[in-house]
Chain A
């Protein structure tokens, strides 16, 4: 479903040009959930944005469902892949009601029948009719993220890109959102690509996991291998140790 071949992304121009992502190749099969982990600045979010088409990739190939994606994407191709952003406080228009937010994709793609689709999309993410005409500031963080997920799903995409969808939320709400994503994936047969710095979150949702550092994809492994600690790359081992919490031996080892 998602194929990345030798993709590179640069920020800036001339002598200030910085490679945010260098020569990354990965493939995600249909219905699979793939997780990208790495520390801040490792380029994992950049990979996601390049796949979404929010930033152009300078080199390599990005292919979604067998279609090559260029710098300019036709409006119809947007229905294939949608994204949920990290911060539900920033990704919803502050002056628009949930109804307006969810009606926009329907209007853009001329789907029609907004009066049926909007409540259906809200029901799908576990929100009621009473939330339809609320403003974002009248919703909790978890409810906002549900609205953001509903907005992404209203176009019935086959690919869902997730940019740290739980890191701005409380721990208890994180679990709710992760369970919601797991259920939606099962019911809708979504292909998911999720970015997170939290190995536990990634392992909960994804079967396969890619580890990124310094703009490069270091290693691709599985959630099971990660849980068993069977990873080969030294960076992955260090990441795994850091996720196991405070441990005196990890400091002496480093």
Chain B
């Protein structure tokens, strides 16, 4: 049995892989080995992984009803054996609400990334690659979005579209994409005249193929790293919208809204606002460390 892991390792790290699958898996394994050596990045990964697990297994970890059940006799209780993190102003268990809040936070983070990255790449890659009037038009549009302060624009969108978690996602996504477009454009411009692009043209590759197979893979690492560094900002914007009442609507457990509801009792029952605030802080930190680590790993390889 002890020989098995060694052979797997040898198979993955084989200098002359026999098949594409082996080469691909080996490449990932090497990247993972480099990532694992970075302890801060691993801390970030553990935090994010824990958060994902908590979100997935929330119904197992806690009773869904406790998150919304109002027991007014138990309101604003301090931590106890029954309510580990105490209760809020409506007598709901704070720990349960934080566990279910992780789901909302992750859904927002996931949806915003799924919207922002494709939009940023779809605007930035053609702008950088084609230049000329394509660049001028796409970048002026980007400048318009970039000219507004992020939270204010998100507020305006959320207010216009109506409060709610889907609209919060749209509002955040609409304000978060311009930096990605500019990043993708800058990365593309440094590569568009490279000889390997000319070689691809000479082979008969279409513009779309060049963008998708030659330039996109070079832009993607920096965009993904930027995204993980931005995660903290996205979570805070979502929390900010929740705090202002434009994000998730009661009785949904959203961390920002929970902080907001605790602010009236901040001095006497500090845990109501502080504990969800800590959750926001730790999650943001986790994504930041993960992004830093990814950047370090991709730096050392080049």
Q: Which residue of B lies closest to A155 (CB)?
A: B203
Find out whether the CB atom of B16 lies under 8 angstroms from the CB atom of A82. Answer: no
Find out whether the CB atom of A83 lies under 8 angstroms from the CB atom of B217. Answer: no
Q: How large is the interface on A (under 10, 10 to 19, 20 to 34, 35 or more residues)?
A: 20 to 34
Find out whether the CB atom of B17 lies under 8 angstroms from the CB atom of A151. Answer: no
State how many residues of chain B have any CB contact under 8 Å with chain A.
26
- For residue B205, which residues in chain A have a CB less than 8 angstroms away from its CB? 104, 108
Judge if A92 is at the interface, Cβ distance under 8 Å: yes
Find out whether the CB atom of B204 lies under 8 angstroms from the CB atom of A109. Answer: yes
Query: Which residues of A7-24 are within 8 A (CB) of B?
Result: none
CB distance from A184 to the nearest CB of B (A): 18
Judge if A75 is at the interface, Cβ distance under 8 Å: yes
Find out whether the CB atom of B195 lies under 8 angstroms from the CB atom of A108. Answer: no
Contact of B196 among A76, A93, A129 (CB under 8 A): A93
Q: Which residue of B lies closest to A84 (CB)?
A: B199
Find out whether the CB atom of B199 lies under 8 angstroms from the CB atom of A83. Answer: yes
- For residue A82, which residues in chain B have a CB less than 8 angstroms away from its CB? 202-203
- For residue B23, which residues in chain A have a CB less than 8 angstroms away from its CB? 97, 99, 132-133
Roughly how many angstroms separate A53 CA and B302 CA in the complex, as a whole number? Answer: 32
Roughly how many angstroms separate A54 CA and B196 CA in the complex, as a whole number? Answer: 12
Q: Which of A83, A90, A93, A132 has the most CB of B within 10 A?
A: A93
Contact of B16 among A52, A78, A79, A130 (CB under 8 A): A130
Judge if B200 is at the interface, Cβ distance under 8 Å: yes
- For residue B39, which residues in chain A have a CB less than 8 angstroms away from its CB? none
- For residue A96, which residues in chain B have a CB less than 8 angstroms away from its CB? 217
Find out whether the CB atom of B198 lies under 8 angstroms from the CB atom of A78. Answer: no
Judge if B209 is at the interface, Cβ distance under 8 Å: yes
- For residue B140, which residues in chain A have a CB less than 8 angstroms away from its CB? none
Q: Mark A91-118, 1 if CB is under 8 A from B, else 0.
A: 1111111010000110011000000000
Judge if A150 is at the interface, Cβ distance under 8 Å: no
Find out whether the CB atom of B204 lies under 8 angstroms from the CB atom of A54. Answer: no
Q: Mark A168-184, 1 if CB is under 8 A from B, else 0.
A: 00000000000000000
Judge if A195 is at the interface, Cβ distance under 8 Å: no
Find out whether the CB atom of B195 lies under 8 angstroms from the CB atom of A90. Answer: yes
Contact of B209 among A52, A108, A131 (CB under 8 A): A108
Find out whether the CB atom of A108 lies under 8 angstroms from the CB atom of B203. Answer: yes
Contact of A99 among B15, B20, B203, B209 (CB under 8 A): B20
Instruction: Show 13 A/B contacts (Cβ-Cβ < 8 Å), sorted by A.
Output: A54-B198, A75-B206, A76-B204, A87-B195, A91-B199, A93-B196, A94-B218, A95-B217, A95-B218, A97-B23, A108-B204, A129-B16, A132-B17
List 7 A-B pairs, minimum CB-CB distance, nearest first: A130-B16, A133-B23, A78-B204, A91-B195, A75-B204, A90-B195, A105-B203
Interface of B toward A, CB cutoff 8 Å: 15-18, 20, 22-23, 26, 194-196, 198-206, 209, 213-214, 217-218, 302
